[in-house]
Amino acid sequence: MAQIDGLPPLREVIATHDLQAKKALGQNFLLDLNLTARIARAAGDLTGADVIEVGPGPGGLTRGLLAEGARRVLAIEKDPRCLPALAEIAAAYPGRLQVIGGDALEIDPLDHLTPPIKIVANLPYNVGTELLVRWLTPPAWPPFWTSLTLMFQKEVAERIVARPGSKAYGRLALLAQWRSEARIVLTLPPSAFTPPPKIDSAVVHLTALPQPRYPAPAKLLERVVAAAFNQRRKMLRAALKSLDPQIEGRLDRLGIAPTARAEEIGLEQFCALARDLDTPRA
């Protein structure tokens, strides 16, 4: 076990604070501090950045982030059993770790932070996708964060980086790739976690682009993509009919085959369609 700080090994922390993992909270802990430091490094240079961590649990990744030099870490944890263990880490890094007990879906951490802000987390699987979508769909761009470094179930990570034509391609890929650069930086087997989950996990690193890759009205693009992939086996002219009864004419005009299916359509074409739907028909 790596000695990245003067704190006790995580197995000892878990025993001392009786942190038996709870499935309902998506608790699969990383106990290897070498590994958590590696994930922290995947987030890039942390020395001048404030970091938001969702779900620190017993604090393995938190310790990695602090040891790698994060200016400040703001950690949001729903399980009150973890708070005493996290308080010990805060004491070892005076003024650099703030822990908020509560649900990350309900807490706005921004009041407490100074840009640049990075988000790094081994996300609880039950709220991971919802948080990602929120971070990717703010009303204005660029967002408050400069990068997201997030552990997901591998299948979700593959959906984020998927390209057109693949089974994994859909709403998540388009939302992520429209306004950020997304890549998988690390894949981990179940044995990396305690307790081990049933499937592999992967860390995705997303960097916010200064502006979207192609112009498009955000809300409309989200609606088009949702409608297209909700019925992904249907042809576009049927899947998108609810958005405009004259959708077939619009698709024709844009050079998109009305008989194509959503998974064949690239980001640039979806953006063109959202822009077209934003203008009244001539």
- Residues found near ligand SAM in the complex (CB under 6 A): 25-30, 54-57, 60-61, 76-79, 82, 103-105, 122, 124, 127
Minimum separation from the CB atom of position 120 to ligand SAM (A) = 9
Minimum separation from the CB atom of position 223 to ligand SAM (A) = 27
Please say which residue, 106 or 111, places its beta carbon nearer to ligand SAM.
Answer: 106
Report the residue number whose CB is nearest to ligand SAM. Answer: 55
Query: E strands within 113-255?
Result: 117-122, 145-153, 180-188, 193-194, 201-208
Residue 182 and residue 150 in contact, taking contact as beta carbons nearer than 8 Å: no
Half-sphere CA count of 272, side-chain side, radius 13 A: 12
Please say which residue, 70 or 273, places its beta carbon nearer to ligand SAM.
Answer: 70
Minimum separation from the CB atom of position 256 to ligand SAM (A) = 39
- Strand pairing category for 201-208 and 180-188: antiparallel
Query: Which H/E stretch holds residue 178?
Result: helix 171-179
Region of residue 192 (phi > 0: left; psi between -120 and 50: alpha; otherwise: beta): alpha
Minimum separation from the CB atom of position 103 to ligand SAM (A) = 4
Please say which residue, 55 or 170, places its beta carbon nearer to ligand SAM.
Answer: 55
CA distance 42 to 116: 16
Please say which residue, 121 or 251, places its beta carbon nearer to ligand SAM.
Answer: 121
